[in-house]
Structure 1
């Protein structure tokens, strides 16, 4: 296992040093620091055909493959587990907000971006894309979609991964490494199956509703728009307004309720991630033109005011 850190590097040189480290680990990756005092550490370890990485850093924006000239031919699927902090992934036109415990998959050879507004710590596992697709045909549909951390599958995956990392200082023979690699693939398959079942239950059916998922993604992408409403979402999703409303009704909700819920959850995440940001700024960023209305709805949803919620977290 290899560990690199900015600890011994001059503050003025840390960002440049860290970009060199990242470029040697993931080709085409660039990081922009979000504060003057940038700190980061990266642990890497190979287990059979898998590459595993544990990054942590202060607030940053991480981009990969900003220009398609940097994209290679070997497809990889990269699983990210958030241990600490709030992270937003953008890939394939989707924006996914992630919190502690959540998992998300990226297509490693396609452009993506992670926005990390606060200090964060992740575990990352890089799979061979062709091998993973052969073992888990559904994996392509799960790219850039949140896999909730509260599901049993994700918790078991994290526990197993942590147990492996505790043994990283010991040599693994080829057959043993391959066995553990295969176990991780099978556990990932369990995570995807459970996440699909949970999404299906939320959609009011036995399988995930792709239209409902598109609606949720459109809401998340436009959450800062004060005028966001059913007509805008229908236009973004490319579906008739009547279909939009019927899809929400099958899930036991309305488009207005979905928008408000998304705004409140985003506001709660922002309050946790940046305690110094004012409640007014958070309200505006989440699409509430009236901060007092935001405070009232927030208290109804979370049982305390935004200020009290921020103090508790």
Structure 2
């Protein structure tokens, strides 16, 4: 759900306290040294307001602030971990960002990357407003690989892919994301992430791994399930990791088809078990061997699940399949009664 915060109408002391208590957590936990007016703490001049709206597993933040500075220090990082990467574009005014000794100055239409896992300083030289796309580190690394070269990286406003990303984020900010269905929200996130991966691939010098097409993502997820059917410890997390997506996204993809990851895994295991019980090549295998090769923890669990699905025990199902094969097989060397009967021709 979209949330907002503002220091408007508050006393100077309350304004700073509200931002540190509410607003900073929406932007980045544990920000200190709120300095304004030439980096001299002037609580009477402090003003900030912003919004945060979830988009899939990510979020879209706006932050408006008068001239000043925000700092995330090493002490702040020790107070609370963060695994968020911000892809930021100024909406109004200019400001500077400092991280790992690199300083970048940006204006409207530019894009740069903030890595909240490390200390940084943000300087607003004038009253300014910025929009940030807050992305879990895992989702971005799945697309661009190592993030080591991205911190402080800048994509200028004349970059075509960067411009497309800025427009996409502006459209999301203007829309009521609370009204999006879950699958729509996830797809809007994926479009933004893919555009970001393409825009910043020139910095990382890598080929981005794009994932926005839902059908492709669904195919990858099902293939990961098939690859792990033999594992009794397979989980949402393990198959999502193999499919290069987050567990939440994997669950959302399955929800689109009216099921869950766990249920789809059970269905695929039963489908494989049925196939092997019907296959004469597996007649030499014990039922328990087939069960474990399909990822069932024990014979009793397999028998119960199989009976619920087929109305037969695995043993009875195999016997029926064997009987059907024998009935369908040609009878070699056996003449039918019709074949044995002589051909009698009656004369007139």
The TM-score bracket by the shorter chain reads 0.5 to 0.7
Q: Does the Cα contact within 8 Å between 2:149 and 2:203 map onto a contact in 1?
A: no
In the TM superposition, 1:277-292 aligns within 5 A as: none
| Residue aligning to 1:188 | 196
In the TM superposition, 1:37-76 aligns within 5 A as: 37-67=45-75, 68-72=77-81, 75-76=83-84
What's the offset of the Cα at 1:182? 0.6
| Residue aligning to 2:130 | 122
Q: 1:88 aligns with which of 96, 117, 121?
A: 96
In the TM superposition, 1:1-313 aligns within 5 A as: 1-25=2-26, 26-30=28-32, 31-34=34-37, 36-67=44-75, 68-72=77-81, 75-137=83-145, 139-168=147-176, 170-193=178-201
Q: Does the Cα contact within 8 Å between 1:71 and 1:109 map onto a contact in 2?
A: no
In structure 1, how many angstroms separate the alpha carbons of the residues matched to 2:147 and 2:118? 15
Deviations along 1:16-35, one digit per CA (max 9) or x if unpaired, are: 22222234322111222325
TM-score (norm 1): 0.58
After TM superposition, the structure 1 stretch with the greater mean CA deviation from structure 2, 5-14 or 83-92, is 5-14
Deviations along 1:118-148, one digit per CA (max 9) or x if unpaired, are: 1110001111112211111264312112221
What stretches of structure 2 of length at least 5 have no aligned partner? Answer: 206-348
What's the offset of the Cα at 1:12? 4.3
What's the offset of the Cα at 1:76? 2.1
Secondary structure of the structure 2 residue equivalent to 1:140: coil
Q: Does the Cα contact within 8 Å between 2:30 and 2:80 map onto a contact in 1?
A: yes
What stretches of structure 1 of length at least 5 have no aligned partner? Answer: 198-313
Runs of 4+ in 1 over 3 A off after TM superposition: 193-197
Secondary structure of the structure 2 residue equivalent to 1:101: coil
Secondary structure of the structure 2 residue equivalent to 1:17: helix
Distance change >3 Å, CA 11–CA 171, structure 1 → 2:
same
Distance change >3 Å, CA 2–CA 194, structure 1 → 2:
same
Q: Does the Cα contact within 8 Å between 2:55 and 2:177 map onto a contact in 1?
A: no
Q: Over the residues paired in the alignment, what is the CA RMSD in angstroms? A: 2.1
Deviations along 1:217-267, one digit per CA (max 9) or x if unpaired, are: xxxxxxxxxxxxxxxxxxxxxxxxxxxxxxxxxxxxxxxxxxxxxxxxxxx
